[in-house]
Amino acid sequence: MRHTVTRTIIAVIWFIAAIAGLFTANYMMTVIGIIAGVVYLNSANSMRNKEKDNK
């Protein structure tokens, strides 16, 4: 449970960094932020599904 919440929080931080990249016109950081956010959210979702299957 803790790992899922932690990864979700990290994903939100990456999405905030992507939004900040848009405001500063740093498009490479925007792309990296979106990709990293999606990867972390996907990881958190798969961990949540594994925990649900184990119960």
| Mean pLDDT of the region 33-49 | 94
Band (1; pLDDT cuts 50, 70, 90): confident
pLDDT at 54: 81
Q: Is the pLDDT of residue 52 over 90?
A: no
Q: Is the pLDDT of residue 16 over 80?
A: yes
Q: Is the pLDDT of residue 55 over 80?
A: no
CA dihedral over 11, 15, 18, 24, signed as positive or negative: negative
Q: How far apart are CA 22 and CA 31, in angstroms?
A: 9
CA dihedral over 32, 38, 42, 48, signed as positive or negative: positive
Band (10; pLDDT cuts 50, 70, 90): very high
Q: How far apart are CA 20 and CA 9, in angstroms?
A: 17
